[in-house]
Amino acid sequence: MAPSVGIPCSLLYFWFYPFWETFFRELGARVVTSGSTNKQILDLGVKEALADACVPVKLYFGHVQALMPEVDFLFVPRLVCLNYQTTYCPKFLGLPDMIRHTFTGSPPLIDIRIDVREGLHALPKAYWQAGRALGAKHAAVARAYLLAWKAQRRYLTLLQKGLLPGEAAPGKSSPTGKRPPDRRGRLVFGVLGYPYLVHDPYISVGLIARLQKMGVGVITLENIPPRLLYRQPLPLDKRLFWTPGDLVYRAALYLLSSRRVHGLIHVTAFGCGPDAMVGKYLEQALRRHPEVPFLTLTVDEHTGEAGMATRIEAFVDMVRRPKAGW
């Protein structure tokens, strides 16, 4: 029987799932995902993870536990660096170790280390190791790798057309049928933050759906082509170290300078280390754009429905009221 590979639907899953799922499926493995976050998953994670860890780590622990009894392998990559310049936050660097030393009974981990600074072939080599863990032949891995890239590229194209990670999922409908949302004449907010917060409706308490229901168009980090972001001049002496944090900051600067949004929402996790810095720099950037209202939403495992609704409604009011006049 084909081995099953479990992929926790949390952290960078929202960015890379077409690649990961295609890769393992093409290798003949049965891909099992943990599905959307729910209360049970969160509760499991909160129970096992360190109380002082941020909620994304707790969520990841929960997703891993949901998968553990069902799979032969767990895919827990160690993402270090993908752009030669910035690294991921320390929790990504130590992710496989945290999982391995917390869950003694976990299935074997496929914990490939991805660091493109190691050389041109670092990326294919990492996935070759992942393929070898499943006992796949060299040619099969190469083929799966190429197909995975193809799926990922298609996904990125859809995102840049304005679809959100949840909507661009390969299985949901045919890619041709997906139209980018029409934002003309509507209120548009930039919703910036790490994908595992913004696109996980459970932990963000349905932030994006709430905004859409109130008639607000949403642009997220994923909708902006990376080359525009990397071209964005930075008002800093030293670039930020963390890839997602750096991108969020650049996206904010890009949205502000291109005047594409009526409001900006920054979603952050309680106690997030990099965001202590990113948030401060965002605040200073927004000070130069007083015309764009700014809201920071902090989420954690205790975030309640009521508090979230109040903040979002008040923010929408704040943007709308001056436009409508008192």
Q: Nearest approach, Cβ of 231 to another protein (angstroms)?
A: 21
Distance (Å) of CA 184 to CA 180, 187, 207, 217, 274: 12, 8, 21, 9, 34
Structural contact between residues 16 and 124, judged by C-beta atoms closer than 8 angstroms = no
* Nearest C-alpha neighbor of 40 from the set 67, 14, 12: 67
Q: Nearest approach, Cβ of 64 to another protein (angstroms)?
A: 13
Structural contact between residues 81 and 88, judged by C-beta atoms closer than 8 angstroms = yes
- Shorter beta-carbon distance to another protein: residue 229 or 277: 277
Residues that bind another protein (CB under 8 A): 38-41, 49-50, 52-54, 57, 78, 80, 87-91, 93-94, 97-98, 101-102, 113, 202, 205-206, 236-238, 240-242, 270-277, 279-281, 283-284, 290, 293-296, 298, 305-307, 309-311, 313-315, 317-318, 321-322, 326
Q: Nearest approach, Cβ of 54 to another protein (angstroms)?
A: 8
- The packing angle between helices 55-67 and 39-48, to 10°, is 110
- Shorter beta-carbon distance to another protein: residue 80 or 251: 80
- Shorter beta-carbon distance to another protein: residue 125 or 183: 125
Q: Nearest approach, Cβ of 250 to another protein (angstroms)?
A: 16
Q: Nearest approach, Cβ of 245 to another protein (angstroms)?
A: 10
- Shorter beta-carbon distance to another protein: residue 31 or 297: 297
Structural contact between residues 14 and 199, judged by C-beta atoms closer than 8 angstroms = yes
Other Cβ atoms less than 10 A from the Cβ of 16: the count is: 20
Question: What is the Cβ-side half-sphere exposure of residue 288, based on CA atoms within 13 angstroms?
Answer: 10
Q: Nearest approach, Cβ of 168 to another protein (angstroms)?
A: 21
Q: Nearest approach, Cβ of 24 to another protein (angstroms)?
A: 23
Residue 199 token pair: 């696109």
- Shorter beta-carbon distance to another protein: residue 228 or 276: 276
Distance (Å) of CA 129 to CA 19, 31, 136: 16, 17, 10
- Shorter beta-carbon distance to another protein: residue 103 or 149: 103
- Shorter beta-carbon distance to another protein: residue 75 or 92: 92
Residue 138 token pair: 């060299």
Any bridge partners for residue 113, and if so which?
Answer: 78
Q: Taking phi first (over 0 means left), then psi (-120 to 50 degrees means alpha), and beta for anything else, what does residue 84 get? A: left
